[in-house]
A and B are shown apart, each in its own frame.
Chain A
Amino acid sequence: GAVVSQHPSWVICKSGTSVKIECRSLDFQATTMFWYRQFPKQSLMLMATSNEGSKATYEQGVEKDKFLINHASLTLSTLTVTSAHPEDSSFYICSASPGQAYGYTFGSGTRLTVV
């Protein structure tokens, strides 16, 4: 149980375009989901906490208007990278938990390359 599905697994887009990444909890409901960014050989950096039915909470230094998060249902959160630039190229990962006793499950990640 506690499966988190992330789509797409990789995407290449042109500079200036927008890209949407989906994160789904397949076998549980997730009122809270987390979005991370990971650069090569580095740790995971939390970008924002996604809350179902309300605005996301962004970490300091993360541009809210650039990284749009929508958590419209208990099983789906989306991250949209708007007006993407090459420096946005990174590995984006989401996570969620069915409850305190279960820990956090991570999606398989999305490799974004902006050209």
Chain B
Amino acid sequence: QQQVKQSPQSLIVQKGGISIINCAYENTAFDYFPWYQQFPGKGPALLIAIRPDVSEKKEGRFTISFNKSAKQFSLHIMDSQPGDSATYFCAASMSTGFQKLVFGTGTRLLVSP
């Protein structure tokens, strides 16, 4: 019940295209869903996060779509750029106190010029 399933494992998108990464969770107690971006040799950086009281959140070119009934959420990167090439992790946790994050398996995104 603690798992967060992420797909695809890798993704190649042309510059200017839309990158879509999907995640699914099982634990209905999760109420905080962040996405992290990680470049090689660096720690993950928080991109955007959503809580289940909204179905969508947009920050710049990054949008999270959240489907509470399906227990799924996804990251959309609009107008993908070569600089977006990185590994993306979805995660989930409970927001009461300092709860540990459960991470997805990661998606390696390559945006071709």
Contacts and interface: CB of A to CB of B under 8 A. Distances in A.
A45 B43 CA distance: 13
8 shortest A-B CB distances, which residue pairs?
A106-B43, A32-B98, A109-B43, A108-B43, A106-B44, A43-B103, A93-B43, A43-B105
A49 B100 contact: yes
A105 interface: yes
Interface in A63-91: 91
Interface string A88-115: 0001010101001001111111010000
B25 interface: no
B49 interface: yes
Contacts of B32: 100, 103
Interface string B67-100: 0000000000000000000000100000111101
Residue in B36, B49, B100 whose Cβ sees the most chain A Cβ within 10 Å = B100
B42 interface: yes
Contact of A105 (B46, B95, B100, B104): B46
Interface in A34-69: 34, 41-44, 46, 49
Nearest to B100: A46
